[in-house]
Chains A and B, each alone.
Chain A
Amino acid sequence: MNNIIKRYIPQILAILFVVLIFGFLTLNAQTNMDNRGIDFGFGFLSQESSFDVQFSLIEYSGSDSYARAFLVGLLNTLLVSVISIIFCTILGVIIGVARLSSNYLIKNSAAWYVEFFRNIPLLLQIFFWYYAALRALPMPEKADAWFGVTYMTVKGYYIPSMVWENLNIFLYCGLAAIIAIIVLRNYASKLRDTQGKQIPVLLYSVALLIVLPLLSFLFGGVTLEFEIPELKKLSKISYIYEGGISLPPELIALVLALSLYTSTFVAECVRAGIEGVSKGQKEAAASVGLTPNQVLKLVIMPQALRIIIPPTTNQYLNLTKNSSLAAAIAYPDLVLVFAGTALMQTGKAIEIVSITMLTYLTISLTIAAIMNWYNKKIEIKEK
């Protein structure tokens, strides 16, 4: 009995203390908001937003609700985060491996790259890309075509858009190819385990992935046309490209800054992971006759990944949160659209800031959950 009291009393007191503090804070906020005649509520979310957003992945206009404006901001945040995560991972792995190269030049350029981009504040890098680098681009009418059909201008990067017919048939074929590949892989590993036979799975997979969708063009009535951006005159001296897709310079600057900055941290994670695998493993693998590529793929990487994944997850989370710096250069992300314009127009500071905070928390927890699942999958399975 005495023991139970000793064990639980401090915990109960601690919880009580936290509850009391939060209760006091809530009461205080409510009293002060009442005094100032500020209402609390989420009814504004269904009201008409009556402002426009520069760039949106879904249909949106000023006559839509604040809730939809929130969704527009959220999708833009996710877009810039996903693109940057992909780029920073590719770049980070390359740089990380390069830092371990035995070639003096490669090794040292990679080290310089890491030290340079890691030690300049991110906001400064965003400003550099937006104000210095992208602003130096030509006006639309003076831009040269890149690859014949894309135009990099001060107003954005214009690329052709794809106009599909019977897109669903094409997608079904792609899906069929993926299912076929999975079946093939299972069959191949069974064959290897039971009869010791090897079949070139990779070659067959690539062939499947190309041939099946190609068939849909020939027999499924799928057509694909490109809409190429064309110069249009707005006034005597100003032009714009019409048709195709326009990637705003704000998005490009943000992706550049975020992926270059975060790639340095990913590179360090990769380097640490590879160096963390003991040298004996590599030597043992080499001594049984594996080629250097096989050593990396079959022995080093599976072990290194276990070290790489957890800290890299952190970097992905940082990147996503850092994307809120978008507000500094007019990229319409969650912070600019919702915690910026919507907050100003409604004055619902507490509600909007809370929703925004909860949203970032949810995104972060989701990324962490996905990475944890992946980590579980590759960690040592003790039998």
Chain B
Amino acid sequence: MFKIIKQLTSVVAMFAVLFAFSTETMAAKKSKTLENTKKRGFVRCGVSQGLPGFSNADESGNWTGIDVDVCRAVAAATLGDATKVKFTPLSAKERFTALTSGEIDILSRNTTWTLSRDADIGLTFVGVNFYDGQGFMVRKGSGIASTSEFKNGTSVCTNLGTTTELNMRDFFDSRGISYEPVVFEKADEVVAAYDAGRCDTYTTDKSGLAAQRTKLSAPDDHVVLPETISKEPLGPVVRQGDSVWEDIVRWSLNTMIEAEEYGVNSSNADMMKTSNNPAIKRLVGAEGELGAAFGLDNEWNLRIIKQVGNYGESYKRNIADTGILPDRGPNELWTKGGILYVPPAR
């Protein structure tokens, strides 16, 4: 009986899988994803449905944000043009299926790196571009100043299919507080429900709270509580099975962070070619053959820095200057008291 069910069910889902995968086979050394991307002429990137600072589209459809910049960096490295990216907005529920079925090649959508996601469902996390943690937002007038003041019966609005759902259960359970989870698929629906008074508190990653607060009808009437109840390392994800593509995305992100560390930015990158520091020269493609390892030319990293900028520039442009989180907190370089630390590019 079990076997029959097993066979039946694999049959059912096959159509989707068939059409998604049949053209792709695994390559040992060369990257099939890179080849296809070059042939297509653009990078296919999955982003959020609108989270200011991370991935957000303006009226004319231009995407900005630090998650968006990761994809732009990959496009600059592989195609030579940071604008050659096709963005696909995805809900939290859709994101992994879109990636594993081959609809997108990079998922850069404020996604938390966890063991089960990394190991279990055919995904590989390549790094962290934002260190976050889950928090709560409440109405200022409620007088609640700490999560310890939540009482039995509190209703909590949040997003479907996120680590948030699990963290809040851990949080309320360990404190023995009964609560009512109200779970929506789209972030905008959560905001609308919280705004209308359906919920007493809204919980998600603190950066998300800061960003979504700007969408509320009266942002100043709301406050994010100081406690952080979880670790949420957010970063780009790729499909398992194409290790070269995985390396390209990982080192595109690392290049941005290392560029900031060495003081290389979009305006001085060309001049840095003549720097005395070999590490800097490697970073702008003036020394070594770093690109060859991925099947790229030697100026792949220079293009990232020139077209997208270093991590600090991206953060300032997208998150600090927009007033979402002016203080970089843990997302500062390790040399300046933060925890951003990437392996050396050599």
Contact = CB atoms under 8 A, between A and B. Distances in A.
Interface in B147-206: 149, 151, 153-155, 160-162, 165-166, 168-170, 172-173, 179-185, 189, 192-193, 196-198, 200
A202 B89 CA distance: 62
A40 B13 CA distance: 12
B96 A347 contact: yes
Contacts of B240: 36-37
Contact of B10 (A30, A135, A238): A30
Given A25-B15, A236-B141, A62 B173 contact: yes
A235 interface: yes
B181 A53 contact: yes
Contacts of A330: 182-184, 189, 193
Given A51-B166, A235-B149, A341-B161, A351 B182 contact: no
A344 B169 contact: no
Contacts of B153: 232, 234, 240, 242
B117 A347 contact: yes
Interface string A78-101: 000000000000000000000000
Contact of A54 (B149, B183, B196): B183
Contacts of A39: 120
Contacts, number: 174
Q: Which of A135, A237, A249, A330 lies at the interface centre, i.e. has the most chain B CB atoms within 10 A of its CB?
A: A330
B173 to A, nearest CB: 6
A204 to B, nearest CB: 47
B108 to A, nearest CB: 18
B60 interface: no
Given A53-B181, A332-B183, A344 B160 contact: yes
A312 B116 CA distance: 46
Interface in A228-244: 232, 234-238, 240, 242
A52 B169 contact: yes
Contacts of B15: 25
A327 B185 CA distance: 7
Nearest to B121: A347
A42 B6 contact: yes
Interface in A315-362: 327-330, 332, 336, 340-341, 343-347, 349-351, 353-355, 357-358
Given A28-B14, A344-B161, A52 B9 contact: no
B147 to A, nearest CB: 12
A38 B100 contact: yes
Nearest to A154: B197
B116 to A, nearest CB: 7
B136 to A, nearest CB: 12
B12 A353 contact: yes
How large, as a class, is the contact surface on chain A? 35 or more
A121 B230 CA distance: 41
Interface stretch (B16-24, B210-218, B264-272): B16-24
How large, as a class, is the contact surface on chain B? 35 or more
B115 interface: no
Contacts of A358: 8-9
A116 interface: no
B142 interface: yes
Interface in A96-122: none
B11 interface: yes
A236 B143 contact: yes
B233 interface: no
A63 to B, nearest CB: 8
A354 B13 contact: yes
A52 B117 CA distance: 20
B140 to A, nearest CB: 9
B11 A26 contact: yes
Given A51-B166, A54-B180, A54-B183, A349 B141 contact: no
Nearest to B199: A155
B198 A154 contact: yes
Given A29-B13, A38-B122, A62-B169, A154 B196 contact: yes
A29 B161 contact: no
Given A32-B21, A347-B121, A354-B9, 9 more contacts: A25-B15, A28-B21, A37-B240, A37-B241, A54-B180, A237-B139, A330-B193, A353-B13, A358-B9
Give me the 6 closest cross-chain CB pairs, A-B, nearest first: A347-B121, A344-B161, A354-B9, A25-B14, A36-B122, A235-B142
27 contacts: A28-B17, A28-B18, A28-B22, A29-B18, A32-B17, A36-B100, A36-B122, A39-B120, A40-B10, A42-B5, A51-B169, A51-B181, A52-B165, A54-B182, A155-B198, A234-B200, A235-B143, A235-B144, A330-B183, A336-B185, A343-B93, A344-B92, A345-B161, A353-B12, A353-B13, A354-B10, A355-B9
